Amino acid sequence: MTRETILHPTRRSLLAGGAAALTAAALPRYAQAQSSEPIRLGFQLHRTGIGAAYGRWYERTALAALKVVNEAGGIAGRPVEILFEDDATDPRRGAEVVEKLATQARVDLIFGPLFSHVVIGSAPRAGELKIPYLVCSEGYHVASGKLNRWTLQPGITDVRAQVTAMAPFVTENLGKKVTMIFPDYAFGHDHRDFFTEAVAAQGGEVIAQIAIPPTETSFTRYFPRIPRDTEVLYHVMVGPAVLTFVKELGEFYGSGAKPEIFGFIDSLEAVDIASPGLEFLEGSHFWEGQCRMLQPDASEAETFYRDAVGVDANGAAIEDPNNVSCYGHMFSVWETLFAIKEGMEACGWRGPQDRQAFVEAVEAFTDMPAGRERPQGAKVFNAKLHQAFGHQFITKLEGGKLVKVHETSIEDSLYESDVDYTAMSF
């Protein structure tokens, strides 16, 4: 029989002691693993479907922002990963992607979608799963109050704010009698309703509203409906028929007198402004979320962002001048990632148990100053609406270049609303 002493331990006590020592040695490592394990963010990406042109630039912007964040130490010292999942720009698949990212990939939160029908189709599922869902969507659906406490939009302004801010410029500089041409679905209807209201508030008048069915491929028959006394033609067409639309509009007016033309850059995102057939737009004005072409007064933050994403002075990919970006919208991805960083650091993010605290931390945002985190410009976050408000840019096409002629203030874009997400339960 072997007697156990400190100097002569038995084999069993040695094994037990060894196991205890190993456990003890592993404990600090585990504790460290918890504090340094990567933060995993899910990205709902329009890689295929009608949003694909935006999707590839949203992915590129997200990766550029991720690199900057990680090089600067990540979020609260933890590295950050992004998992991209294609939603095919389809609301059903969008909800499935939210499900997949949340319950299978177990990401901490989800961000990135643009198309409003995908956002509206996915947001209920994000609310059920109680996972923060930060959208880069521009539509009026977040601020309208129709979604839920878990859905936030801190990185881009909404259509209602955009048109409210720009109406004064249109009525004061271009004309007071406006004819609107817009696609006959929800995005176009937001423009129709809110721009008409905003123009009336400025003493102007929308004298005709021409809705184009989304399946239309030729527009010639709609142009005779533009009243003769139209001073400004407001267009916000999207999709592959845009080039045809502009070309046929040019043929309709020919070289004769034509009204001032004001359009949303949505009409020409990812399209080279120098494309044949677009010459007609020379001299017309555009709304841009951020100026596609590098302006002489561009801030250091803007050029830093442009370089980081790899966009040249004309708004195209550095490696391929024909690959034109969605510059007017894609900053929202960059700014949303930095808003996530700020929100997580403000709430002392540890893991999914802090999701509610994260939403509350974002709701506590007020002034969001300009800087590398917000290269598009300063913003103010309205917690009740879960919506950021910011500056808008109006550019004029001169000599094939989009030149900035006006920047609205944040106050220009504010509007009254009864919506209060903070009063909703989680």
Partner 1 sequence: MRMIALHLAVLAVLAALQFVLPAYHHTNAARIMVLATYAIGFNIAFGYSGLLSLGHALFFAGGMYATGLLVDQGGWQPWLALVAGPLAGGALAAAVGLLALRTAGPAFMIVTLMFAQAFHLAILYWGRFTGGDEGFTLSGAARRIGAFDLADPATRYTAAFLLFGAAMLGCLALARSRTGRVLVAVRENEERTRMLGYDTFRAKLFALALSGLISGAAGATYGLMFGYVGGSFASIQYSILPLIWVLLGGAGTVLGPLLGTALMFYLIDWASSVTTASQFVVGAVLILLVLFAPRGLLGLVRDHAMRRLP
> Which residues make up the interface to partner 1 (CB under 8 A)?
47-48, 85-86, 90-93, 95-96, 99-100, 103-104, 116-117, 120-121, 123-125, 128, 139, 141, 146-147, 184-187, 189, 213-215
Question: Smallest distance from the beta carbon of 258 to partner 1, in angstroms?
Answer: 29
Q: Which is nearer to partner 1, 48 or 323 (CB)?
A: 48
Nearer CB in complex with partner 1: 144/202: 144
Nearer to partner 1 by Cβ, of 123 and 143: the residue is: 123
Residues 6+ apart with CB under 8 A from 269: 53, 54, 326, 327, 328, 329
Q: Minimum distance from CB of 49 to partner 1 (Å)?
A: 9
> Are 151 and 123 in contact, with CB atoms under 8 Å apart?
yes
**Cβ(261)–Cβ(284) below 8 Å:** yes
Cβ of residue 402: shortest distance to partner 1, in angstroms? 29
Using CA atoms, how far residue 295 sits from 286, 313, 366, in Å, is 15, 8, 28
Evaluated on CA atoms 262, 268, 272, 277, the torsion sign reads negative
Alpha helices in 157-285 (DSSP H): 159-169, 186-201, 242-253
Classify residue 27 by burial, with Cβ atoms within 10 Å: 0-12, 13-18, 19+.
exposed
Nearer to partner 1 (CB atom), residue 146 or residue 345: 146
Q: State in angstroms the smallest separation of the CB of 48 from partner 1.
A: 6
Q: Which two tokens stand for residue 299?
A: 């801030």
| DSSP E strand stretches across 165-283 | 177-183, 205-212, 232-235, 260-264
Q: Which is nearer to partner 1, 87 or 412 (CB)?
A: 87
H/E element holding 110? strand 109-111
Quick one: 86 or 302, whose CB is closer to partner 1? 86
DSSP structure class, residue 370: -
Smallest distance from the beta carbon of 135 to partner 1, in angstroms?
13
Query: What's the closest the beta carbon of residue 47 comes to partner 1, in angstroms?
Result: 6
CB nearer to partner 1: give 5 or 104. Answer: 104
Which residue type is seen at 22?
L
User: Is the CB of 109 or the CB of 368 nearer to partner 1?
Assistant: 109
Positive/negative CA dihedral, 184, 179, 408, 421: negative
Closest approach, Cβ 421 to partner 1, in A, equals 14
State in angstroms the smallest separation of the CB of 285 from partner 1.
Answer: 27
Contact 156/176 with Cβ under 8 angstroms? no
Element housing 317 (H / E): strand 316-317
Taking the CB of residue 5, how many other CB atoms lie within 10 A of it?
A: 8
Tally the C-alpha atoms within 13 A of residue 110's C-alpha that lie toward its C-beta. 33
